Amino acid sequence: MITVKELTPINGISAFRRLFSCKKNKKIICKALKRSLLVSLWFVFLTFPIMVIKVNPIERTVSWRWGNIFYVAIGSFVISLLAKAWLVRKERSAARQASCSVRASIIQDLLNRPGCRYPLVVLLLGVALLFPHIFSTYQANIMTTALMYIVLGLGLNLVVGVAGLLDLGYVAFYAIGAYSYALLNLHFHLGFWVALPIGGLLAALFGVLLGFPVLRLRGDYLAIVTLGFGEILRLILENWNAFSRGPSGISNIPRPGFFGLEMSLDHAMIYMYYLMIGLVLLTIFMVNRLQDSRLGRAWLALREDEIACQAMGIDKTRIKLIAFSLGAFWAGLIGVVFAAKTTFVNPASFTFLESAIILAIVVLGGMGSIVGVICGALILILLPEYLRALSEYRMLAFGAILVAMMIFKPEGLIAGVRRTYCFQGRKNAAALQDDE
């Protein structure tokens, strides 16, 4: 375990002084400075045509914005230096921690400390429960969306993060959930609470159906086929008018009922929020238990080494199918919630972009880590909502963030930690350390 001292960020100035104190460090820093200088020169050169020269085709004039050079140079210099510093620090901490058994992030460490765990959870829960009363209904509505993506992320995390199956067509199962509620309501007038489990189970069933033919594929091939599946499903929904009403979609889907009570729009939104809080808690509970079980271990083993996994007696087809259908189950559930929340579904809501966002949540948050996925969802969904200026560059930002993650923190913001057991030597003395 990591001690507290190592976890608290060191004071910047003293750290710098310490950095300069030895000769080896000086050498590294000089090298880094030189490199960053080169990088910034290169950037200035590359961005010269777009940052400096401005052609005005109407007035037929060319203006030279020399000032921009400085911004580009300084910006790229600083970023390059920061990147280098991060890499060096990471290398050092990796060397330092090679001897220590299990690495934990700050949040994970706090959660695992018995004294911190309960107050922290109670605090979070309190904030979550009071949220719609403290802030406006509009805020609660945005939060509901974020909560939906948390569940989607946790579901996909089982498939991608834990079992290591790259699924790019996850949105298909989301669509199946949404459309199953919309259609069941349209034709049979089924209510939300009946449709919820049906949507989930239907999606799970499709997960198995898709799984059978494709699960012999691995890595990139699996990704391409699932991507295709997602697109095919969307195209079917778009073109099979008799079945799905095509691009115009299905409207007037009722919101979830509460014992037949009539609710105003405001109340319905707040009700939706609490419903999602409940679903999130249920999902966390279930996913946590699944990960920490015979099945969860088998998934991890599958992610690490398929051949060794089989040689140890694990039926890989079976556990892959289970992972696939369980992940699809949660997508289906949230699909139903989505249809009820927006009261309208059409195929445009289920494009590849959705799959990409959910996947980004998992990768950014930390593959296989529940806390990580929650953080990832909150960051990726709430940030564009609150930073409207940024939302235009959303895809650009996604790309940049993901590339940065690959370089600096491939394990995600908050990496999953392995469960530890206390072992007391002699026979039968190993006790299960309880997690709850």
Partner 1 sequence: MMNKRMNKPILDVSGLTMNFGGIRALDHLDFEVQAKEIVALIGPNGAGKTTLFNCLTGIYQPSSGEIHLACPQSGKQTRLNDLKPNKITEKGMARTFQNIRLFSQMTVLENVMIGRHCRTHSLILGAIFRDRKTREEEQETVNKSCEILEKVGLSGQVNELAGNLSYGAQRRLEIARALATEPFLLLLDEPAAGMNPQETADLVALIRQIRDEGHAILLIEHDMKLVMTLSDRIVVMDYGKKIAQGTPAEIRINREVIKAYLGEDGG
Q: Which of 94, 315, 395, 408 binds partner 1 (CB under 8 A)?
A: 315
φ, ψ for residue 410, nearest 5 deg = -60, -20
* Segment interacting with partner 1 (CB under 8 A) among 75-83, 93-101, 150-158, 265-273: 93-101
Going from the C-alpha of 394 to that of each of 238, 385, 398, the distances in angstroms are 26, 10, 6
Residue nearer to partner 1 on the CB measure, 25 or 420:
420
**Which C-beta is closer to partner 1: that of 89 or that of 289?**
289
CB 256 within 8 A of CB 192: yes
Identify the residue among 74, 78, 390, 430 touching partner 1 (CB under 8 A).
430
User: Which listed residue (305, 387, 390, 395) binds partner 1 by CB under 8 A?
Assistant: 305
- Applying CB under 8 A, among 295, 363, 370, 381 the residue interacting with partner 1 is 295
55 strand-pairing partners: 62
The answer to whether 366 touches 413, Cβ cutoff 8 Å, is: yes
Q: Which of 39, 152, 223, 298 binds partner 1 (CB under 8 A)?
A: 298
Instruction: Find the part of the chain contacting partner 1 (CB under 8 A) among 96-104, 205-213, 370-378, 392-400.
Output: 96-104
Q: Does 284 bind partner 1 (CB under 8 A)?
A: no
Nearer to partner 1, 300 or 336 (CB): 300
Which element (helix H / strand E) includes 277?
helix 265-291
Binding-site member from 310, 342, 343, 351 for partner 1 (CB under 8 A): 310
Binds partner 1 by CB under 8 A, chosen from 44, 301, 371, 377: 301
- 95 makes contact with partner 1 (CB under 8 A): no
Distance (Å, whole) CA 167 – CA 159: 7
Q: Coil, strand, or helix at residue 59? A: coil
Q: Which stretch binds partner 1 (CB under 8 A): 86-94, 124-132, 393-401, 423-431?
A: 423-431
The reply on whether position 242 binds partner 1 by CB under 8 A is no
Options 58, 313, 388, 389; binder of partner 1; rule CB under 8 A: 313
Rounded-to-integer distance, Cα 81 and Cα 64, Å: 28
- Asked if 178 and 349 count as a contact pair (C-beta separation under 8 A), the reply is yes
**Is 435 a binder of partner 1 (CB under 8 A)?**
no
Which of 357, 416, 298 has its CA nearest to residue 152?
A: 357
H or E segment and range at residue 345: strand 344-345
Confirm or reject binding of residue 308 to partner 1 (CB under 8 A): yes
Q: Among 294, 344, 356, which residue's Cα sits nearest to residue 319?
A: 294
Q: What percentage of the chain's residues is helix, strand, coil (to nearest 5)? A: 75, 5, 20
Q: Within its chain, how far is the Cα of 119 from the centroid?
A: 25
Which residues of this chain interact with partner 1, rule CB under 8 A? 98-99, 101-102, 286, 289-290, 293-298, 300-301, 304-305, 307-316, 322, 326, 418-421, 423, 425, 427-430, 432
